Amino acid sequence: MRRPIGIAVGAVVVVSLLGGCSDHATSEARRPESPAPATTAETGTTTPGGVAPDGSASITNQRGPSAPPTQDEARAAWLEGVGLFGKGDYAGASSWLQVAAAGRPDQPYGQYLLGIALWKSGNLEGARSALERASTLDPKSLRAFVNLARVRLESGENQGALDAADSAIAIDPSSADALHQRGRALLGLGRGDDALEALTKARQADPENGSIANTLGYLLILKGRPEEALPFLEAARDKLPNVAYVRNNLGVVYERLGRKTEALLEYRAAVGAGDPDGKANASLARLEPLVHGTATAQGGPDGGEGTPVAQDVSAAETGTTH
């Protein structure tokens, strides 16, 4: 599942949109009591339209179906969008944030936050377009390139993800997030040794990051080196105990090392954490009868029917930088 992104809400946030905030933290302030933009012809204010697949604005107001919002409308839409974003309503937030972004298309942070909201609401095409605009408007925005790499990876665009990750690394060569996405992209391109180098550097840059430890362990599983994967995946479990794919991967390693009882515990934990891809549940159903002596093997950890399946991340990849 996706981890909600905390974000400051209030009048100071409006300044970040109007003032071209890049990677600077936004000060927290209480959100003022302001009504949502009205929808009546008397007021002439903007209502958010549907989000187009490319993340472009669809504005409806009394000036016409495609008229850009006024500055006041853009400010009000920004407040509404940020408020919904902070509550985890990413679909609702994206509708308002596209109005705000249409009102100030030259502001990179508005495009960036719109991209994150679209991504979190499942609109990968729109998210990619918005994050590309954000990175073009602010070519020094580390987080824009890192999250663009994530979105491209989720879309299966491994080379594009590598390009975005490399742009992030050019901004900050020591960025663990950028190195992590570079490693994932290289892995997707089949460049396992290069991926291992990038992920090792990412781990060194941020040894407390459970997502990096999981990806590194996953790669070592693919390389047939479960003994080396074990400490990374145990560290990932300690940091991310309720993430299904982390527990599943650790179960895979335990099983490949012959520690089947411990593998069962991890598969059960993965199922309890949701197991959205069903991998842990399949391994649990296969392995449990074997451990308890009620069935014979129909495959093993090295191949054949019943092979346990490891994974880098699920569709609910959790490591968002914001």
Separation CA 107–CA 19 (nearest Å): 8
CATH topology agreement for domains 1-137 and 141-207: yes
pLDDT of residue 48: 63
241: Cα within 13 Å, side-chain hemisphere:
2
Residue 14 has a pLDDT of 36
What Å distances lie between residue 248 and 137, 214, 254, 312, CA to CA? 40, 10, 10, 10
Q: Residue 68's pLDDT is what? A: 86
pLDDT for 40: 33
Supply the CATH classification number for the domain 226-322. 1.25.40
Q: Does domain 141-207 have CATH number 1.25.40.10?
A: yes
Sequence spans of domains, the chain? 1-137, 141-207, 226-322
| Contact between residue 261 and residue 291 where contact means Cβ atoms under 8 Å apart | yes
Asked if residues 218 and 312 have their Cβ atoms less than 8 Å apart, the reply is yes
pLDDT per residue rounded down to tens, the chain (322 residues): 444 333 333 333 333 443 333 333 332 222 233 333 433 333 333 446 544 545 544 444 445 556 789 999 999 999 999 999 999 999 999 999 999 999 999 999 999 999 999 999 999 999 999 999 999 999 999 999 999 999 999 999 999 999 999 999 999 999 999 999 999 999 999 999 999 999 999 999 999 999 999 999 999 999 999 999 999 999 999 999 999 999 999 999 999 999 999 999 999 999 999 999 899 999 999 998 888 765 544 444 433 334 566 666 543 344 443 4
Backbone angles phi, psi at 300, to 5 degrees: -150, 180
- Residue 22 has a CB neighbour count (10 Å cut-off) of 16
Q: Considering the domain 1-137, what is its CATH architecture?
A: Alpha Horseshoe (1.25)
Note the pLDDT of residue 249: 96
pLDDT at 125: 97
In angstroms and rounded to an integer, the radius of gyration of the C-alpha atoms of the chain is: 22
